[in-house]
A and B are shown apart, each in its own frame.
Chain A
Amino acid sequence: MQDAGFIFASYIITVAAIVLFAVGTLRRAKSSAKVVEDQHKPWI
């Protein structure tokens, strides 16, 4: 399968981008959440 490198690259880039975005969001939420009172978090 000559095209394997391109195919795997497209899957890896897709998954990596989504995971990095998700992890970045959760980390940012965690650091901001430390200075915000629970009463301002309607989802809690």
Chain B
Amino acid sequence: MLSQSAPKFSSTGTQATRIVGALTIIVMTWVLISGLVFTPADVVQGESVRIMYVHVPSAWVAYLAFIVTAIASAFYIFAKRHSLGFDRVAGASAEVGVMFMVITLVTGSLWGRLTWGEFWQWDPRLTTTAFLLVTYVGYLAVRRLDGSVEQRARRSAVIALLAVLEIPLVHFSVVFWRSLHQRATILDPNGDVKMDGLMLFTLFTGVVGFTLVFVWLILHRQRTMLLSDLANQSGLDAAILARQNESVSI
């Protein structure tokens, strides 16, 4: 039976995705309002610090997404049963990661204009982040190459396992080289966090909210990929059948 019975709002939704979606909207609404209205201005950076509540969680989710891509790829390659489900999770996570990486670079660029006076500097953190983005755009391009879904899964899994090695380079670039970009505030190795309580709480809920967005998107995206693969396969099957019928009638 074809999916005439599918829910009207979403073909990939379940009770779980609806709960995650509702939670996401609640947390994100709080983050946006608190970030723009309730939190105080920074002593040094002034009002521009408000960009932090979208910039930092975006960067966190981009890292998380690329790590999930690598883990799912490793499961695909090393598990006994090479399940394409892992490949779809890897692909979906990389797409979401690229989107959040673009958000990170754009919001960081706007923040940089306010604090450094420039939209872009060839600074170690910015350069390595841009390089990470280009790598994962390449990963997505490889996923669209011709070939079977198994070939797609194998090729992209190898790239994902290599690409994830760039993340420590990006994260520690501010430590390894002299950088305009500030060092980690929350993940400070000394554990000395100098931040107002509400600012810290808003940043923390931002990380939670953006992570919920990631979970919701990845659930829907990997199901969409399964549907696309099946739709492509049924289109291919129909074309082969039509071709066979043509040759029989000749």
Contacts and interface: CB of A to CB of B under 8 A. Distances in A.
**A and B: interacting chains:** yes
Interface of A: 1, 3-4, 6-11, 13-15, 17-18, 21-22, 25-26, 28-30, 32-41, 43-44
Nearest to B229: A32
B246 to A, nearest CB: 22
Interface stretch (B43-51, B64-72, B121-129, B173-181): B43-51
B224 A25 contact: yes
B48 A7 contact: yes
Interface of B: 1-3, 5-6, 9-12, 14, 32, 35-36, 46-48, 50-51, 54-55, 58, 96, 99, 102-103, 106-107, 110-111, 113-114, 213, 216-217, 220-221, 223-224, 226-228, 230-231, 234-235
Top 10 nearest A-B pairs (CB, nearest first) are A33-B11, A32-B227, A29-B224, A10-B107, A32-B231, A29-B11, A14-B54, A29-B12, A36-B230, A6-B110
14 contacts: A6-B113, A7-B50, A10-B107, A13-B107, A18-B103, A18-B213, A21-B217, A22-B216, A29-B223, A32-B224, A32-B230, A37-B3, A38-B2, A43-B14
Contacts of B102: 17
A11 B114 contact: no
Given A17-B103, A29-B220, A35 B2 contact: yes
A33 B51 CA distance: 38
B42 to A, nearest CB: 11
Given A3-B47, A35-B234, A10 B54 contact: yes
B51 A7 contact: yes
B7 to A, nearest CB: 9
A43 to B, nearest CB: 5
Given A30-B11, A32-B231, A40-B230, A10 B3 contact: no
A14 B110 contact: no
A23 to B, nearest CB: 11
A13 B106 contact: yes
Contacts of A40: 226, 230
Which of B32, B224, B226 counts the most A-chain CB atoms under 10 A from its CB? B224
B227 A36 contact: yes
A35 B10 CA distance: 15
